Amino acid sequence: MIIPDTDSLRDRAAAALAACGARDDHPTADGTLIARSPITGGTLCLLTPSEPEQVTAAVADAHDAFLRWRTVPAPRRGALVRRLGELLTEHKSDLATLVTLEAGKITAEALGEVQEMIDVCEFAVGLSRQLYGRTMPSERPGHRLTETWHPLGVVAVISAFNFPVAVWSWNTAIALVCGDTVVWKPSELTPLTAIACDALLRRAAEDVGAPTGVHRLVLGAGPVGERLVDDPTVALVSATGSVRMGREVGPRVAQRFGRCLLELGGNNAAVVAPSADLDLAVRGIVFSAAGTAGQRCTSLRRLIVHSSIADEVVKRVASAYRQLRAGDPFAEGTLVGPLIGERAWDAMSAALVRARADGGTVVCGGERVESDSGHYATPALVRMPAQTSVVREETFAPILYVLTYETLGEAITLHNEVPHGLSSSIFTTDQREAERFLASDGSDCGIANVNIGTSGAEIGGAFGGEKETGGGRESGSDSWKAYMRRATNTVNYSDQLPLAQGVRFGR
């Protein structure tokens, strides 16, 4: 396996940042925030993380901008997001390069992530003319009863490494058209993509005359995020990450009566029924399980297959796995890039040890791909005799556990028997089975699919999950309501003052 040297990767990063107009807002002198590439494990550059007072100042700037931005008509706010989408289109290749460098995604997936940003900008521009309220019948004559929606305030976006730009855009594009301002803390593993996106949004704001401060970027590890979580000026904290992180963030924001939008872990499963189109199913299974080296929150981690076809499905998936090429994500033909780092490889190795101890059999994969740099692994396919504790846990690595079932009811029970509730799917050509899986007593996930895998959600549908996944919703549908506050308005246009519920006061 041939991997490019770190010097060449560093040059690519510098060129992409310069193309996006990134400014030196985070100096490198004595920097303690290390921007690394999982491709080699080498350092791309050193950055200076934000100090606590800088985080507070960023929130204050965003709040000052909010006081002006909230009065701008929503269609004019949409002009900012439209311009951002144009700049993202212009710099699609540059941003994809940075995504590959920092997150290790293969080029096709990196380009797809940037396209997702462009798509959500288009969605948000249309939304800027559709922030509809309601008119409801009043029980009192001469009265009008309505609902109106208003900007919420400063939104803190805390994002994860695996989607270093798309999740930011889901939140930011929607928040901006809703009249909010944004402070973004990206993962400390992917600061360069954030610097590039911030530069493009700043340029978009200048081009359309938006207030300075509608977007602020802060860099660093946990303490920076904690500052945002605890700041009473932050109206909404939208945080993407682990369940452990969510358990810390949720109570702290609730304690100050702030709002939370949590997108946490997923232990996603696909049911393969006897009637399934196996050619289609295998394609969906392999991409969902091995894409992004198993480092998506929607990655397929459990395969629940009817016993009558289990051997055939395992054979086909194993055959496809053996053809997957792991290596340099920039290289043509590579389908599996690197794990984000050593901790990810250690977690994968430990999970496979536990699976074997529980009676599991590794059908293929799970080996370290020899490399002088980076952490590369072949996706693992593991047959399990039961859904043991290791199967119920989310390991952020390419491990797919195979379980069998006899009845659809048993499959649904197995499917729902984990603490997470993000994404799910069933492969079947039986309409009754499909409808049962989508019914209220079927999948308990926020996303339930038929004849497609668990990953690759479109921006038009609300994204999010239940149980330990956090319950938040981002991107499409009516998820914009999370970024606004609702007011119920009553207008009395009569010359009388009747009370509700027929109450009479006085004589």
- Which residues are marked as active site? 263
Rounded (10°) angle between helices 92-103 and 6-19:
140
Non-local (6+) Cβ contacts of 112 within 8 A are: none
32, amino acid identity: T
Rounded (10°) angle between helices 52-69 and 222-230:
40
How many other C-beta atoms can be found within 10 angstroms of the C-beta atom of residue 244?
A: 10
Give the span between the Cα atoms of 361 and 354, in whole angstroms: 11
**Phi, psi of 481, rounded to the nearest 5 degrees:** -65, -20
Give the span between the Cα atoms of 51 and 59, in whole angstroms: 13
Give the span between the Cα atoms of 109 and 118, in whole angstroms: 14
Q: Which residue has 């399934």 as its token pair?
A: 276
Q: Are 326 and 295 in contact, with CB atoms under 8 Å apart?
A: no
Of 197, 145, 182, nearest to 63 by C-alpha is: 182
Of 358, 449, 445, 361, nearest to 402 by C-alpha is: 361
Q: Are 415 and 394 in contact, with CB atoms under 8 Å apart?
A: no
Give the span between the Cα atoms of 316 and 301, in whole angstroms: 17
- Exposure string for 421-455, b = 16+ CB within 10 A, e = fewer: bbbbbbbbeeeebbebbeeeebbbbbbbbeebbbb
First to last CA, the chain: 91
Q: What DSSP designation does 438 have?
A: H
Non-local (6+) Cβ contacts of 55 within 8 A are: 183, 218, 224, 227, 228, 231
Give the span between the Cα atoms of 182 and 152, in whole angstroms: 11
Of 477, 354, 57, nearest to 227 by C-alpha is: 57
- Token readout for 157 is 């976006």
Edge-first strand order for the sheet with 268-272 is 361-364, 380-383, 399-405, 300-306, 268-272, 423-427, 447-450
- Token readout for 90 is 């212009």
How many other C-beta atoms can be found within 10 angstroms of the C-beta atom of residue 132?
A: 9
